[in-house]
Amino acid sequence: MTGAAGNSRHATTGAQALLAAYRQASVLGSVAAARRQLLDQLATANEQDCLACGRALVLDGQFETALEVFARGATRHVGSAELQLGLAGLCWQMQRPDEAEHLLRQWLSNHPRDIPASFLLARLLREQGRVQAAAEAVLRPFEPGPQDTDTLIQAIELLDDYGRPSEASLICEAAIAAGEKDPRVHAYAGMLGIQLGQFQRVRERYEFALANDANALEWNIPIGLSGLQRYKEAEHPDFALFRAALARPELSDKARTTTLFALGKAYDDIGDYARATRYLRDANARAHATGSWSRKHWKRLIEARLAAAPYPFALPAPAGWIPVFVVGVPRSGTTLLAELLARHPMVCNRGELGWLKVIAERLSTARFDQRSAFEEAAALYATQLRQDDSNARWFIDKQPLNLLHVDLVLSLWPNARIIHCERDARDTALSLWTQSFHDQAHDYAYDFDDIAAVIQGCRRLMAHWGKRYPDSIRTVGYEALVTAPAETISALASWLGLPDQEATTPPGKHHGISTASAWQARQPVYTRSAGRWRDYAGYLPELSRIPRAGG
């Protein structure tokens, strides 16, 4: 231990001396000459000095010199993972991704179980939209056998973040089959199983986690269990489980809130709307008290979008593919519609991407005459939408609040199609109010007045877009979709220009569903959620304040 510390101090001192000499030579003479002198001195330097010099130069913004330092160091110390990864990472930072990929693949050909290198390669590929290749990079170190638990969890989280729950589940289940007992892994397996529709396996994994870790109730397990089915009777053991969880004084506020949502959903399933309302009121009050959503900010956003001038140009329509945006107030049928459309073999549903908001924010400071900025934004989004795993020609992004950016969509992709989902406002409001959301963007869902503001704002904005872009927008009513799904989807397919082909993919079977509709979207289309608000009319007078039309 003492020797390692001494070597570290010696390396730091050596690097500091080299850098001091380089900086002094740069000030007194030629930068190129100072660089040559530094590289000559590093020819006999140890690994740590090369690393320290390269990192310091990066921090100084001297990327070209740092690149040469890393390259020379990697050549001299061929077995140094840190130098090889530092070189690849710097190439990526300097917008030389092909070089970075080559370096990483070359290193991994000799070190196939190097986790940092594999994950760095995965992140590089993910940025390019090559998500299938990224998933393969994450999986490769697991092919010879399981890794340690922390590495496994890191890989699961990466794959889940990349929208690859199947691959995440693959290594998760392989580890469990090999004897993995960590309750966290079983809980992750349960979460992935929900996305993939493996509902029986979910219960097994969650029950193991609950039995083997006292903190498992903090991992959203009650809300996960409540979404696995439609309960038929109050004697189901989950009711007792949820009540017992709420009786624990040490339960965190967040876990208590989500468990209240779970119990409210359970009582809703069996038609005990009085008890469901009681639990859901408590859950929503708690969630609303800690929320950060601003009604005032939302209204200002809508007014700004309504007042925005049209973009003065449109980029050329992309050749060979068509982006499809399914928008609307959340819980208005966007997931169901996207899943039904994606049965067509030429349609790929990417779920809720989130990238349109990112590029809208980036372009908010660009001038309209900066056409190159808009071209770069369109290319960035296209790589994330199309990816590298599908031969489809129609690609769906079903982020509901993309409706805020319809003008940007049709400026970047004039051939885009916007499908606007509408639903009885009272049903939408009730559905939102009964859900536990995991992100702050939906904090409006815990207060009926906030929900009403969102519905009204979305309606005003979609009416505005409909007048400006009538040929690019199609509205679909939730009630028509669930009453006559085949006819509704057929009409949409014709409007989209889809070729007349038989559906080949059952809904929800080709990818994970990470929204609150994970269970519902895999059931046969049903109509019981249409007019559901009437069950609560006597318990929730707030529903009468929801704007029913116009506004």
User: Each residue's pLDDT tens digit in the chain (551 positions)?
Assistant: 333 333 334 445 788 888 888 888 888 778 888 888 888 888 888 999 999 999 999 998 999 999 999 999 999 999 999 999 999 999 999 999 999 999 999 999 999 999 999 999 999 999 999 999 999 999 999 998 889 999 999 999 999 999 999 999 999 999 999 999 999 999 999 999 999 988 889 999 999 999 999 999 999 999 999 999 899 999 999 999 999 999 999 999 999 999 999 999 999 999 999 999 999 999 999 999 999 999 999 999 999 999 999 998 899 999 999 999 999 999 999 999 999 999 999 999 999 998 999 999 989 888 777 889 999 999 999 999 999 998 999 999 999 999 999 999 999 999 999 999 999 999 999 999 999 998 889 999 999 999 999 999 999 999 999 999 999 999 999 999 999 999 999 999 999 999 987 655 554 444 555 555 554 555 566 677 788 999 999 999 999 888 775 43
**At 369, which helix (H) or strand (E)?**
none
Q: What integer pLDDT is reported at residue 512 of this predicted model?
A: 56
Chain centroid offset of residue 540 CA: 33
Q: Cα(45)–Cα(17) distance, rounded to whole angstroms? A: 12
> Do the beta carbons of residue 224 and residue 190 sit within 8 Å?
yes
- What separation in angstroms does the CA of 115 have from each of 153, 199, 219, 486? 12, 31, 26, 47
Would you give the DSSP letter of residue 443?
Answer: G
SS (H, E, C) 293-347: CCHHHHHHHHHHHHHCCCCCCCCCCCCCCEEEEEEECCCCCHHHHHHHHCCCCCE
Please give the full DSSP string across 85-126, using - where no structure is assigned: HHHHHHHHHTT-HHHHHHHHHHHHHH-TT-HHHHHHHHHHHH
Q: Going from the N-terminus, what domains does the chain have, and what CATH number goes with each? A: 2-162 (1.25.40.10), 216-289 (no CATH), 322-545 (3.40.50.300)
Q: How does strand 394-397 pair with strand 322-328? A: parallel
Q: What integer pLDDT is reported at residue 525 of this predicted model?
A: 66
